[in-house]
Structure 1
């Protein structure tokens, strides 16, 4: 096109340097040396189920609970702040602000929940209904999870609610309440 313009006008067009797009790298920081590349890649590809499973894997690594395969109150209360922010920011970014712990926390607080780790039945019932975690008795199952962007806002990640398959969903959700008490979300 430039040659055509040059030929018609007799003036050589000014060449403007091509601007390189600025690609903002994801912050994959970790206090515990956890590699978040796979989680980022799964979220970027929209592989929600695999990303949910990877979230559990990296959270167990960050809390040094890989061997146990589950969290206790102490491990959630002492979860590394940097790692929690990294995990949450990846979920929020790649879901266009639909998913992530901070999204869940915001919804929970909207229904009168408090970020103190305590159980507020009415707030939790409304929260679970809003994010699509309706409890059928105490038997909410993995099959009830919608691993797609048509799921309700805040629906994912859910991985930590399945750490205690023999316990009620209410007890499993205690982990979410403890997580929501982190000031870093």
Structure 2
């Protein structure tokens, strides 16, 4: 009977913070619960790079996106969804991505990463809105502030992680 109880407890934890590479998502969960959106955004990138074994590179390539662990992707998405009243997360972004016909510029406008009256410009990381009132799907950003300070003309390269949205895991 004790063994069954331990297994049920482990499964409950596993369902909440499951990781195929033993990534500890507790800190990300704590940041999201505390609504520390900017820190959570940075932690999301950090744990994703760790799960993909791309910490040294600091970015994702096609192979790391295609082989990103399913459980980890679901865990990170669920944490964002649960702690933002379903406003933020990869599955929210995926729905938006598909609704705009997988168009980079339209996606950027929809989630609030592109702004301007006449010509829409990609925002710098410092211009991202880190609060619950940000547009639907605004977070997480996939931006690495220490590597790329803005989307700029490299938008398509920087937005390569949108490949995550083609995954059936979300």
- 1:91 equivalent in alignment to 2:91: no
Partner of 2:164: 179
* TM-score, scaled to structure 2: 0.81
Kept in 1: contact 2:114–2:122 (CA 8 A): no
Shift, 1:72, TM fit: 1.2
Stretches (4+) displaced over 6 A: 135-138
Q: Is the 8 A contact 1:57 1:66 kept in 2?
A: yes
Taking a change above 3 Å as real, the CA distance of residues 161 and 111 of structure 1, as seen in their structure-2 partners, is farther
Instruction: Confirm or deny: 8 A CA contact 2:28 2:40 kept in the other structure.
Output: yes
Aligned to 1:76: 65
Query: Structure 1 regions of 5+ residues with no counterpart?
Result: 1-23, 114-122
Return closer, same or farther for 1:137/1:125 CA change in 2, 3 Å cut-off. Answer: closer
Q: Which residue of 2 aligns with 1:124?
A: 104
Offset from partner CA, 1:18-40 (integer Å, 9 cap, x none): xxxxxx87700000100000000
Aligned residues: 152
Q: Hey, what's the Cα distance between the residues in 2 that align with 1:66 and 1:106?
A: 28
- CA displacement at 1:70 relative to structure 2: 1.6
| CA deviations over 1:26-60 (Å, ceiling 9, x no partner) | 70000010000000000000000000000011001
2:108 and 2:50 map into 1 onto residues whose CA distance is: 27
| 2:101 aligned counterpart, secondary structure | coil
TM-score, length-normalised on structure 1? 0.75
* More helix per residue: 2
Which of 142, 146, 151 is the equivalent residue of 2:125? 142
- Structure 2: stretches of 5+ with no match in the other structure: 1-11
Change (3 A) 1:169 1:163: farther
Larger of the two Rg values belongs to structure: 1
